[in-house]
Amino acid sequence: MEHKDYSSWRVKPNSSLKLRDIETLPAPTDLPTEEAWQSSMRKLGDKLNKLQGTLHAGKSQGLLLVLQGMDTAGKDGVIRSVFTHISPLGVRAEAFGAPSDLEKSHDFLWRIHPKTPALGEMVIFNRSHYEDVLVTRVRGWVKKDTCEKRFDDIKHFESLLADSGITVLKCYLHISKAEQKKRLQARLDDPHKHWKLQPSDFDDRQLWPKFAEAYEDALSATSTPNAPWYVVPADSKPYRDLFVADLLVQTLESMKLEMPKPLFDLSKVKLD
- Could you please report the per-residue DSSP string of 13-34? TT----GGGS-SS--GGGSPPH
Mean model confidence pLDDT for the chain: 93
Provide the pLDDT for residue 1.
59
Q: Which long-range contacts (C-beta less than 8 Å, at least 24 apart) are formed by 145-149?
A: 147/214, 147/217, 147/218, 148/217, 148/221
Whether this prediction's pTM lies above 0.85 is answered by yes
Provide the pLDDT for residue 195.
84
Tell me how crowded residue 103 is: count the other CB atoms within 10 A of its CB: 14
Task: Please give the Cα distance from 4 to 1 (Å, whole number).
Answer: 9
The torsion angles phi and psi of 95, rounded to 5 degrees, stand at -110, 140
Q: Between helices 237-254 and 75-82, what is the axis angle to 10°? A: 60
Helix or strand run (H / E) with residue 240: helix 237-254
122-126 and 62-69: which strand pairing?
parallel
Q: Tens of pLDDT along 143-178?
A: 989 999 999 999 999 999 999 999 999 999 999 999
204 against 253, higher pLDDT:
253
Q: Tens of pLDDT along 124-151?
A: 999 999 999 999 999 999 998 999 999 9
Q: Tens of pLDDT along 196-218?
A: 887 777 878 889 999 999 999 99
Provide the pLDDT for residue 111.
97
**Cβ pair 197, 188 in contact under 8 A:** yes
Arithmetic mean of pLDDT, 34-40: 93
When mean pLDDT is compared across 45-54, 201-210, 214-223, the lowest value belongs to: 201-210
Provide the pLDDT for residue 85.
84
**Cβ pair 13, 224 in contact under 8 A:** yes
Task: Please give the Cα distance from 253 to 47 (Å, whole number).
Answer: 10
- Residue 176: strand, helix, or coil: coil
Provide the pLDDT for residue 72.
94
Task: Please give the Cα distance from 57 to 258 (Å, whole number).
Answer: 9
Going by C-beta distance under 8 Å and a sequence separation of 6 or more, which residues neighbour residue 234?
24, 69, 73, 74, 173, 174, 175, 179, 240
Q: Which stretches of 17-106 are DSSP H helices?
A: 34-58, 75-82, 101-104
Provide the pLDDT for residue 77.
95
Residue 97 DSSP symbol: -
Residue 100, CA distances (Å) to 70, 123, 130, 242 in order: 22, 22, 16, 35
Residue 5 has pLDDT above 80, yes or no: yes
